[in-house]
């Protein structure tokens, strides 16, 4: 038996996850994410897949984040003949994310054609029709239910506790060896989702290391801090503006606000989720109750309550309704995307509220270099919105408690409880180089025999 492993994305970086396992001459692809960053640098990388999809024997998707599922339609377009395996919640989230991506690429292209018609190079990589074909190729399986892949390989999804439907992919080979891929690993104690399953005993582990050099604030503080921000801002007569990713973070916020209202810890103000994508994502969360943890079941479902709906909470899809929020004089909470303030309705809310000292802009997610969100997080005195400068008078408050990724202590705990005698090697992917170097040291100290930082496109022969 020969096993090899190659990464074509998310090697010493965090986007474009694509990991190819060769097992006895068969090719298994885990994830097919989009590279993110400047269009010029990423378009070609995304357009041309580094392998022939027609030669793949199976494709497995760990979870529905864009950097893991975003380029799946290129596989189908390129002639991949078989199924894409995932949990059903992952399929639904991926559907939403891929459709949104097709829509954004089409709009971008239209805009570029008007502005600079010579830029034909940036034609959309796929369209909505390709996404439909892709979604139609999914075969879904529940957690802990082994199912067969070609070549006598059994695949099992374990709960990764990262986002709704996320899984650790465990592959059992016919010689009793086992290889697992963590996908993105969540952290214990997150709202709504179950804690990550313990990683199983394996011979080889492909592990993410996004926060391989960082520790998060405890999630238990999130609800209390949210309550504090709302009380303080409402007392001043201000509004709370929260830029938030539509999938995951928004539902966590709604969940906490629901608890805070039920417990009478925040005043009776209106809370708006102003994002069509978040409205759709919340629909998916409502349907997939099989992914909820015990606390959520007990807090809501036993009383037939919807965790994502309560009095005073309003979901807004319509543009005209969104505009009506501008004229509101009284305190309220507005949750809107995009998460890094790069586009979307959040820009209008920031423009309308940033110059008022009574307001709070609440940052609950990672803000990449060069984004408006980063300028806000750095508390710059003046920021540009829609190309115009605005003085920032609103308070900026940052909560570091929210993160869907394990930090290095969480990863260490997960790996330390594995059968370390059996574990021959941990291959580290999905992280910036410094994070992976730190994580490698942490894991070596924890007693892992061999840890490799995976290089892009290098072939590793496992045995
Ligand atoms: Zn992820």
Task: Judge if 332 and 363 occupy the same domain.
Answer: yes
Task: Judge if 416 and 394 occupy the same domain.
Answer: no
DSSP label of 291: G
* CA 210 – ligand 1 centroid, Å: 10
* CA 322 – ligand 1 centroid, Å: 29
Q: What pLDDT is stored for residue 462 in this prediction?
A: 86
**For residues 244 and 364, is the Cβ–Cβ distance under 8 A?**
yes
- Average pLDDT (107-126) is 83
Q: What pLDDT is stored for residue 140 in this prediction?
A: 98
Q: What pLDDT is stored for residue 4 in this prediction?
A: 87
* CA 262 – ligand 1 centroid, Å: 30
Instruction: List b or e across 120-142, with b for residues whose CB sees 16 or more CB atoms inside 10 angstroms.
Output: eebebbbbeebbbebbebbebbe
Q: What pLDDT is stored for residue 10 in this prediction?
A: 80
Task: Judge if 41 and 178 occupy the same domain.
Answer: yes
**For residues 408 and 207, is the Cβ–Cβ distance under 8 A?**
no
In terms of average pLDDT, the best of 103-107, 238-242, 327-331 is 238-242
Q: Is the pLDDT of residue 37 over 80?
A: no
How many domains does one find in the chain?
Answer: 2
* CA 180 – ligand 1 centroid, Å: 17
* CA 370 – ligand 1 centroid, Å: 21
- Average pLDDT (217-234) is 93
Task: Judge if 187 and 105 occupy the same domain.
Answer: yes
* CA 404 – ligand 1 centroid, Å: 8
Mean pLDDT estimate for the chain: 94
Going by pLDDT thresholds of 50, 70 and 90, the confidence category of residue 119 is low
Task: Judge if 144 and 13 occupy the same domain.
Answer: yes
- Average pLDDT (256-284) is 95
* CA 62 – ligand 1 centroid, Å: 9
Q: CA-to-CA distance for 125 and 134, rounded, in angstroms? A: 14
* CA 184 – ligand 1 centroid, Å: 5
Task: Judge if 329 and 261 occupy the same domain.
Answer: yes
Give the pLDDT confidence of 167-181 residue by residue, as tens digits.
999 999 999 999 999
Q: What is the dihedral of CA 346, 348, 351, 353, to 10 degrees?
A: -70
Task: Judge if 263 and 325 occupy the same domain.
Answer: yes
Q: Is the pLDDT of residue 440 over 80?
A: yes
Q: What pLDDT is stored for residue 241 in this prediction?
A: 98
DSSP 171-217: EE-TTS-EEEE--S---TT-SSBPPPPPPPP-SEEEEE-TBTT--PP
pTM: 0.93
Give the pLDDT confidence of 308-317 residue by residue, as tens digits.
999 999 999 9
* CA 14 – ligand 1 centroid, Å: 10
From 380, 340, 385, select the one nearest 363 (Cα to Cα). Answer: 340
From 455, 449, 410, 406, select the one nearest 202 (Cα to Cα). Answer: 449
Q: What pLDDT is stored for residue 111 in this prediction?
A: 86
* CA 13 – ligand 1 centroid, Å: 13
Going by pLDDT thresholds of 50, 70 and 90, the confidence category of residue 120 is low
* CA 183 – ligand 1 centroid, Å: 7
Q: What pLDDT is stored for residue 463 in this prediction?
A: 77
* CA 330 – ligand 1 centroid, Å: 37
Domain hosting residue 380, numbered range: 220-398
Task: Judge if 246 and 357 occupy the same domain.
Answer: yes
User: Can you point out the beta strands (E) in 117-164?
Assistant: 138-140, 147-149, 153-159
In three-state secondary structure terms, 41 is helix
Q: Which helix (H) or strand (E) holds 60?
A: strand 58-60
Task: Judge if 40 and 73 occupy the same domain.
Answer: yes
* CA 173 – ligand 1 centroid, Å: 26
- Average pLDDT (344-372) is 93
* CA 26 – ligand 1 centroid, Å: 27
* CA 65 – ligand 1 centroid, Å: 5
Q: Is the pLDDT of residue 368 over 90?
A: no
Strands in 360-363's sheet, in edge-to-edge order, are 313-316, 270-274, 332-336, 240-243, 360-363, 395-398
Q: CA-to-CA distance for 107 and 317, rounded, in angstroms? A: 19
Q: What pLDDT is stored for residue 299 in this prediction?
A: 84
* CA 163 – ligand 1 centroid, Å: 7
Task: Judge if 310 and 184 occupy the same domain.
Answer: no
Determine which of 21-25, 35-39, 260-264 has the lowest per-residue pLDDT on average.
Answer: 35-39
Task: Judge if 48 and 196 occupy the same domain.
Answer: yes
* CA 68 – ligand 1 centroid, Å: 7
Give the pLDDT confidence of 397-418 residue by residue, as tens digits.
999 888 899 999 999 999 999 9
* CA 415 – ligand 1 centroid, Å: 19
- Average pLDDT (264-282) is 96
**For residues 11 and 20, is the Cβ–Cβ distance under 8 A?**
no
- Output phi, psi for 273, to 5 deg: -105, 105
Give the pLDDT confidence of 72-102 residue by residue, as tens digits.
999 999 999 999 999 999 999 999 999 999 9
Q: Is the pLDDT of residue 23 over 70?
A: yes
* CA 149 – ligand 1 centroid, Å: 24
* CA 254 – ligand 1 centroid, Å: 20
User: What residues does 80 pair with on adjacent strands?
Assistant: none
Give the pLDDT confidence of 280-301 residue by residue, as tens digits.
999 999 999 999 999 999 988 8
Q: Is the pLDDT of residue 2 over 80?
A: no
Q: What CATH number should be reported for the domain holding residue 247? A: 3.40.50.10890
Task: Judge if 371 and 424 occupy the same domain.
Answer: no
Stated length of the chain:
463
* CA 7 – ligand 1 centroid, Å: 17
- Average pLDDT (187-213) is 95
- Average pLDDT (19-41) is 90
Q: What pLDDT is stored for residue 112 in this prediction?
A: 85
Q: What CATH number should be reported for the domain holding residue 77? A: 3.60.15.10
Q: CA-to-CA distance for 390 and 439, rounded, in angstroms? A: 41
């Amino acid at each position: 038996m020969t096993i090899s492993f190659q990464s074509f994305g998310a090697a010493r970086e965090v986007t474009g996850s694509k990991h190819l396992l060769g097992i006895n001459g068969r090719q298994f692809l885990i994830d097919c994410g989009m590279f993110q960053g400047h269009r010029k640098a990423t378009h070609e990388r995304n357009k041309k897949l580094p392998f022939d999809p027609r030669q793949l024997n199976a494709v497995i998707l760990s979870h529905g984040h864009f950097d893991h599922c975003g380029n799946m339609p290129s596989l189908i377009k390129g002639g991949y003949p078989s199924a894409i395996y995932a949990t059903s919640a992952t399929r639904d989230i991926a559907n939403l994310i891929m459709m949104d991506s097709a829509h954004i690429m089409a709009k971008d292209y239209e805009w570029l054609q008007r502005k600079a018609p010579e830029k034909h190079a940036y034609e959309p990589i796929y369209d909505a029709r390709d996404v439909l074909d892709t979604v139609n190729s999914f075969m879904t399986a529940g957690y802990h239910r082994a199912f067969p892949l070609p070549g006598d390989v059994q695949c099992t999804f374990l709960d990764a506790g990262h986002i709704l439907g996320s899984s650790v992919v465990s592959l059992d080979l016919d010689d009793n060896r086992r290889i697992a891929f963590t996908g993105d690993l969540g952290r214990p104690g997150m709202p709504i989702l179950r804690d990550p399953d313990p990683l199983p005993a394996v011979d080889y582990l492909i592990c993410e290391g996004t926060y391989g050099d960082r520790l998060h604030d405890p999630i238990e503080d999130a609800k209390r801090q949210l309550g504090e921000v709302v009380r303080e801002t409402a007392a001043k007569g201000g509004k709370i503006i929260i830029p938030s990713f539509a999938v995951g973070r928004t539902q966590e916020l709604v969940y906490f606000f629901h608890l805070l209202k039920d417990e009478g810890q925040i005043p009776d103000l209106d809370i708006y989720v102003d994002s069509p994508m978040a409205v759709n994502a919340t629909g998916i969360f409502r349907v997939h109750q099989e992914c909820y943890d015990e606390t959520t079941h007990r807090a809501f479902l036993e009383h037939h309550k919807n965790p994502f709906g309560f009095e005073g909470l309003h979901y807004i899809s319509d543009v005209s309704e969104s505009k009506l929020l501008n004229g509101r004089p009284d305190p309220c909470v507005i949750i809107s995307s995009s998460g890094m303030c790069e586009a979307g309705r959040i820009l209008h809310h920031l423009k309308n509220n940033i110059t008022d000292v009574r307001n709070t802009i609440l940052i609950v997610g990672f803000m990449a270099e060069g984004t408006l969100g980063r300028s806000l997080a750095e508390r710059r005195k003046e920021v540009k919105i829609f190309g115009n400068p605005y003085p920032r008078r609103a308070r900026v408050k940052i909560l570091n408690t929210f993160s869907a990724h394990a930090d290095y202590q969480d990863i260490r705990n997960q790996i330390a409880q594995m059968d370390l005698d059996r574990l021959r090697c941990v291959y580290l992917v999905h992280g910036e180089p410094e994070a992976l170097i730190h994580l490698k040291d942490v894991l070596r100290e924890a007693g892992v025999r061999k840890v490799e930082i995976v290089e892009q496109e290098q072939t590793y022969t496992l045995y």
